[in-house]
Amino acid sequence: LAIEGIREELRERVRELRQQGKLLEAQRLEQRTLFDLEMLSELGYCKGIENYSRHLTGRLPGEPPPTLLDYMPDDALIFIDESHVTIPQLQGMYHGDRSRKETLVEHGFRLPSALDNRPLKFEEFEERVSQVVYVSATPGDYELEKAQGHVAEQIIRPTGLTDPEVEVRPASNQVEDLLGEIRERARKGERVLVTTLTKRMAEDLTDYYREMGVRARYMHSEVDTLERVEIIRDLRLGKFDCLIGINLLREGLDIPEVSLVAILDADKEGFLRSERALIQTFGRAARNVNGRVILYADTITQSMARAIQETERRRRIQAEYNRLNGITPETVKKQITDLLSSIYEADYWTVPVVRELEAEYLSPQELLQRISELKRQMKEAASRLEFERAAELRDRIKALEELFLQHDVPVEERRVSPRKKRRRAHPFR
């Protein structure tokens, strides 16, 4: 039945495309779909089989797809963590998916039924959940409206730590002023997080501080996933003192060693400097007893004022609780775990294949080719968030690189070239 339904839809769609004069799209769709049908008939599956899910499940056009929520009891209690971010994502999932697939359908890459292989619309999601607890340090308007006044605050921390002190300083001399603050924290063995508005400024500021003798690194969306994990771990271990970024320093970045969060150009009103974004950023300094936030701004915006006011309210509540109960605040103690630890330290270790053991018999050129291939596989594994696989490949690369260095190869013939560093004038001089 499913295959017959797909064939019927294909005939109708090809006829429609030819009537519109889209002969290339019609041919592309026909070839692709007929190949998929042959695979389904012979093997029972095909690449992209999910795009035929409407026919395979017998749903009507436009009907919502089955999800995990359908298997939960009607009175199930749903917890939505970081709801101020999760709710907007749920609201936008359907529209983003629809926009992408409409393009595929229009150009003959998929049948129109592929549009029904989609996320739930937000209204459909709301119909399927009856009891919801929204968890967030900065709940959005939607959550507050749904709560109808039933809001439970969990401000008291068992460690006695209060929200960090917030100070506003002029932005005219922010780079040099921050340089002194970073050096002071570095002498105490503490760490600093700095937020900028652009990737370019994050990179330029990092280069400038390095030239000034500060151990600094940057992190933004162009940094590989695998490298981000290593950067965070190196910051905690004290291999450098200052991490500069944009929007990656908000939710979920739990680094107890950070005692200072600096927000540059804090008066530039917008998403990255909204009330909720500022409060989330303040929270990165709330794990350390010496936690402090510096906002560099020439004017105090409404978002800044509300964020500072809310932070001070929470500080007063925690301070009063500490006074009444005789609690002395202590910095959070958190073990530094190596997500990229060597496979030799793992509980289970895969015995190397014979091919790897025979690497010592390879020529230098063959070793370079093997290293290059493993690096490609490592990056692919990291992009799929398969960190264990990436770590295993990293260890194999290190072993091969050590073997390569044992060969007597002239430096000019070694094709492992360092990453080129961009040189440009610093705007901070």
227-281: per-residue pLDDT in tens? 777 888 888 889 999 999 887 555 456 788 899 999 999 998 888 888 888 998 8
What CATH number should be reported for the domain whose range is 1-134? 3.40.50.300
Q: What is the average per-residue pLDDT within 43-71?
A: 89
Task: Name the phi and psi angles at 134, rounded to 5.
Answer: -90, 125
Tokens 């290293």 — which residue?
371
Residues paired with 375 in a beta bridge? none
- Tell me if residue 131 falls in helix, strand or coil: strand
What are the φ and ψ backbone dihedral angles of 157, each rounded to 5 degrees? -105, 135
pLDDT at 236 (0 to 100): 87
Task: With CA atoms as reference, report the closest residue to 246 among 218, 214, 287, 208.
Answer: 218
pLDDT band at 407 (very low <50, low <70, confident <90, very high): low
- Cα–Cα distance for residue pair 22/108, rounded to 1 Å: 9
As a whole-number percent, the residues of the chain with pLDDT over 90 amount to: 50
Q: What is the Cα–Cα distance from 207 to 191, expressed in whole angstroms?
A: 18
Q: What three-state secondary structure class fits 262?
A: strand
Higher pLDDT, 236 or 362: 236
pLDDT at 360: 59
- Whether residue 352 is predicted with pLDDT greater than 80 in this model: the reply is no
pLDDT band at 350 (very low <50, low <70, confident <90, very high): very low
Per-residue pLDDT at 374 exceeds 60: yes
Element (H, E) at 218: strand 216-219
**Long-range contacts from 205-210, C-beta under 8 angstroms, 24+ separation:** 205/175, 205/244, 205/428, 206/244, 207/426, 208/175, 208/426, 208/428, 208/429, 209/179, 209/182, 209/242, 209/244
More confident residue, 294 or 342: 294
pLDDT in tens, 105-120: 999 999 999 999 999 9
For the chain, how are helix, strand and coil distributed in percent, rounded to 5? 55, 10, 40
| Lowest pLDDT segment from 77-91, 106-120, 178-192, 352-366 | 352-366
CA 378 from centre of chain:
18
Choose between 161 and 392: higher pLDDT. 161
pLDDT at 48 over 70: yes
Calpha distance 35→41 (Å, rounded): 10
Minimum mean pLDDT range among 52-56, 185-189, 261-265, 356-360: 356-360
Average pLDDT over residues 141-170: 90
pLDDT greater than 50 at residue 344 = no
Find out whether 135 and 80 touch, Cβ atoms under 8 Å. yes
129 has pLDDT over 50:
yes
DSSP structure string for 143-191: HHHHHTT--------TT-PPPPEEEEE-STTHHHHHHHHHHHHHHTT-E
Instruction: Give the homologous superfamily in CATH for domain 165-325.
Output: P-loop containing nucleotide triphosphate hydrolases (3.40.50.300)
List Cα–Cα distances, 133 to 123, 156, 403, in angstroms: 17, 19, 55
Is a pLDDT exceeding 80 seen at residue 419? no
Q: What is the mean pLDDT of residues 34-46?
A: 90
The answer to which of 27-31, 333-337, 345-349, 365-369 has the lowest mean pLDDT is: 345-349
Q: Which band of pLDDT confidence, cut at 50, 70 and 90, is reported for residue 284? A: confident
